[in-house]
Structure 1
Amino acid sequence: MIPAMRSLKLEERDRATSIFNDIIMRFEHSQTPEAECGYKPITLIALMEKEVSEKDEFLRLFFSFVGQNPSTEGGEWETDVEHMLSRLASFDSWTTEEIDALRESLAAFAKYLVDNSLLPRRPPELMQDARPLLCSVKAFAAHTPQPIPAPLSPSILSDAAISTPQRVSILRRDCLARDRHRCVITRKFDAEEAGTRWKREKHNMKDDDGQLFSERDTFAFVEVEHIIPHFMPLSNEGGERKLASGHTIASTDAWLTMFQVESKQVAHRILNMFNPTAVNLINGPNIDRPRNALTLTHGLHRQFGEFDIAFEPIGPEPHTYKIDHVDPDDFVSVEKLLITVTLYLTPDRTIDPPSPELLEIHRAIGRILHVSAVGDYIEGFLRDMEEMEGGGVIPNGSSRLDDFVRFRLTVTGWLEGRSPAL
């Protein structure tokens, strides 16, 4: 059981931060090579602590995990912060065996973060917009579906009654209107909308600001991209859990339900560390609201969905961002970046602008994925899972059966359409 999160006392925070930094400094230069685990575990932990806003909660989670008493039956979580810190404060004087055990605990904590906050919760066959829990990674940049925009008539349906495809259609309509049918980065006008206006108005066609287009104007097909994507495969209505694939999990599958509820709770807890309001911003139908979406050209849509592009707020002007690649040295780019853009707003604010909080989470996760090499690790992980989905073994000859079973349970809650044998 993971202990409930709460703020640290001032002296606890100072001591915890100091010990955390000492541990990172001691182990980061000698961390497990990427060739062995696929990413940099200590760098991942250090980046998470740096990027989250709720540092007390992260530190408590960190020390609760790595400070577990190995002799405790059942691996229960240590909850006495002072005791944990006192034990870890002297790690420099530990024996070689104790240091090795701490190194293994750090690697296990890094894997815990990856498994519960970065791995996808839906495989591609269940949803086109299959992404990791907090955000998408390069291997799963399948993008937000682009349905025909909903009519401009008001909907009489409640949020709960609108299916996800309907919500996404309304989302596309609203974002195109808010962003003036233009990519928010390049400002290129939507080619599809331009074609419609050309048929209707010919040389008199105008943009959303009432300006005539010129022969020098170029157009591009624009798409709407979620900032934080759909990440939970289950809905919970009528006392049943229904999979996106149409399977129903009986409420009697207590073990499976407990497994998924705990996974969701851990994921939300980690998401809350980045921003305490984040879960409410994207919970349920809120995930398909304009504050969680941007209008982008196809190429930028893909790179944003793959966490190659970040929006960093600058200056006193609201909704103004420096936009650049997460890796500024990245040679491959569909557009020349490092530009400053002020996002479009509707005059009466009837359509919310993209949320600065969600854009900041997207930026933070992108940096974590890139610098720690977790993004590349997840690409390989998903390729391995795809190999096993087809009944084969992965290229190195192993099967990763434990990973495969856990992944399938997490992303679908169902293995081959059946509940797990108990």
Structure 2
Amino acid sequence: MTSAPLRQPPKTLMVVLLLTMGVGPLLNYGLSATSDELLRRFSITESQFGLLATTLFVSATIVSMLLGKLADVLSIRHQLILNFGGTGVAMLLAGFANEYWILLIAMALAGPMQVIANPTTNRVIYELVPVGQRPSWIGVKQSGVQLTQLMAGLYFPAVTLWLGWPVAAVGAAVFIFASLWWSITQLPPEDPTDWAKVRRALLFGRSGVNSRAVERLPLGVWILAVVAMFGGVGMQATNLYLPLYTVRELDFSLVLGGLSAGIAGIIGVMSRIYWGRLLSRGKPASTLIMLTTGGGILGIASLMLAGDFGQVWLLWLGVALYGLTVLGTNVIVNAATLSMVDASRVGAASGITTMGMYAGFAIGPLLAGLLLEATGNFHASWLSVIAAYAICFGLAVTLYVHLRRQRPNAAARSDS
């Protein structure tokens, strides 16, 4: 793209980043928001429903490191075509599916296409946004995922009940393709894709990508990748099963159940911006991860108690705590990752943390679905989410200790 960051990046660029982050999860959020209806439509069990999200995220995990490398050599326009175009095709396939296995294929297709969004948007921010503004831009662009959660929670249940799942899915696909066209028109000029570099990146990750970039990543990046994984376990299990939980345990309607996820999403938008601003002010990433995951534990405990005691206010308290805290973790992970590497390793480092996140996304829904089906209630599922967040908290403490030890060593090297 440009050779140096812009002094004042255009606001339309932020909208492009929001859309790029947001379109990928639209299919899985749409399925989650209409879960009770789709379980009946396709005559599937809770664990089979969880397998849909797992299929998407397994396919994403498999290609995340490769796509992280490709994000360093493909033009931004080609990356948007992969992200938007592939997701739009997957949405159409899911809309016209009349068998469960077709839904599985749609999810397998959607995974690789959306996984490139994180390295793509990180690269755009690294190249075009001044250093001091990067954490806040990351906070805003990551909120695109939660805006999608809100839109899906409002749109899919209402349209599915009114006109049916196929119409809802086709309408979403039209939005995706329209967003692709508009986003491409808003990007600044850039060099075309060097396809020789792409071929070499596909074969052993050489050329445009430093062949030893991954091996030379700091330990902190790997810790963040594991944080992203366990955070992803809890986050995606919650996102997928929250609407179903409200319908079954609290007698919510399908629309109100979808709204519960949507409200978590809109709170998550503000949350991610807030955590991004704290990072901009120099707050340590490790400390912020302790706060977000600790809040997530309290939020999930509140959700669990809401079903136990039939108290709707506990449900909304849990939704608010979940949105305010743990949904901001990915912002912190992304911003901290960018601060630990140089320009040549942005794609590789983002690919590692994205791989961790999608691995967690793959594990969480299937684990929660299996526990739900085995026990007949949501207790074990929620406890598994709490355990995942507790592990994240411990990893954040490890990161804090590691970075404190690094600072004296770095000072000693600079004095010498």
**TM-score category by the smaller chain?**
under 0.3
- Identify, as 1 or 2, the structure richer in helix: 2
Larger relative contact order, structure 1 or 2 (CA cutoff 8 Å, min sep 6): 2
User: TM-score w.r.t. structure 1 length?
Assistant: 0.25
Which one has the largest radius of gyration?
1
